[in-house]
Amino acid sequence: MRLAALLMTMLMALAGTATADDTAVGRVVDDRVVGGERVSIAEHPWVVYLADSGGYQFCGGTLVAPTKVVTAAHCAAGRTPRNTRVVVGREDKNSDQGRVVRVTDIWVHSDYLTADQGADVAVLTLRDAMAERPLPLAGPQDESLYAPGTPGRVLGWGRTSEQGAVSRYLLGATVPVMADADCADVYLQYDPAEMTCAGYPEGGVDTCQGDSGGPLVAGGKLIGITSWGEGCARRNRPGIYTRVLAYADAIEAQLVA
């Protein structure tokens, strides 16, 4: 079991270097988020990206309070406030729209080890309060948003195909929430208590590298945090998201801190 999990992790690491078979995957779908389309930041004012001090975008995030951004632990672990920036209100990475905000504190869930072991959640504290509308977190009343078939919206500036480049513009796509049993069939590390998964059986639409930490939204709430998957948009390989409802209390505790 331990060995199997290790092999799986190695396989996923290798997924970045595709074989001839894999190249069929990033495929014919149009070249956005993987199967998505451009969306406006004005309609999604709470979606942000994380950049290093050189301005290089490496992950996504969600503004959940004026000074608080939820992201993935694997985006934040090992970083310092000094070398981390949050870019708010900028749809086009090559523009100077919106603002680049400094970070004063980084909290990473204490149970976090690697993304596929769960607890892939972190909260960044911003130096300044943002005027943008925050996105509410899924709470105890929102269990129904995880029902299979619920349309989830994913957003980000990540790769537009498994082997492709990251996107210059904010992209969005719709992926249905899948049944836990189906996700557990696909990935032995899938833990329904900590994760949710979304995608189409035939693939084609998915988040990808660079989208991590960004939102999975349903019913106007943050229900997931882009976390991991085997390759991107592959047939029968859904994307895995941190189950926000499972961490709502832990996140809330950070919002008052």
Sites of contact with ligand ARG (CB under 6 A): 158, 206-212, 226, 228-229, 232, 239
Q: Kindly state the smallest distance separating residue 32's Cβ from ligand ARG, in Å.
A: 14
Task: Indicate the residue among 139 and 148 with the shorter CB distance to ligand ARG.
Answer: 148
Give yes or no for a contact between 182 and 198, defined as CB atoms under 8 angstroms apart: no
**Does the annotation mark 120 as catalytic?**
yes
Tell me the two tokens of residue 34.
């993987």
Q: Could you say which DSSP state residue 134 is in?
A: P
Q: Which of 206, 210, 198, 196 is nearest to 233 (CA)?
A: 206
CA 119 to chain CA mean position, Å:
13
Q: Which of 44, 74, 191, 206 is catalytic?
A: 74
- Nearest-angstrom CA–CA distance, 213 and 94: 21
The H or E element that residue 180 is part of is helix 180-186
Q: Kindly state the smallest distance separating residue 218's Cβ from ligand ARG, in Å.
A: 16
Task: Indicate the residue among 67 and 224 with the shorter CB distance to ligand ARG.
Answer: 224
Q: Kindly state the smallest distance separating residue 49's Cβ from ligand ARG, in Å.
A: 11
The strands making up 37-38's β-sheet, listed across from edge to edge, are: 37-38, 171-176, 151-156, 215-218, 221-228, 239-243, 195-198
**Does the annotation mark 74 as catalytic?**
yes
14 phi, psi to nearest 5 deg: -75, -20
Task: Indicate the residue among 103 and 183 with the shorter CB distance to ligand ARG.
Answer: 183
Q: Which of 44, 109, 120, 227 is catalytic?
A: 120
Q: Kindly state the smallest distance separating residue 257's Cβ from ligand ARG, in Å.
A: 25
Query: What's the CA dihedral at 61, 65, 66, 68 to 10 degrees?
Result: -50
Q: Which residue is nearest to ligand ARG (CB)?
A: 229
- Nearest-angstrom CA–CA distance, 110 and 138: 21
Q: Kindly state the smallest distance separating residue 190's Cβ from ligand ARG, in Å.
A: 13
Task: Indicate the residue among 207 and 254 with the shorter CB distance to ligand ARG.
Answer: 207
Tell me the two tokens of residue 240.
């895995």
Q: Which of 61, 140, 45 is nearest to 107 (CA)?
A: 61
Residues belonging to the active site:
74, 120, 212
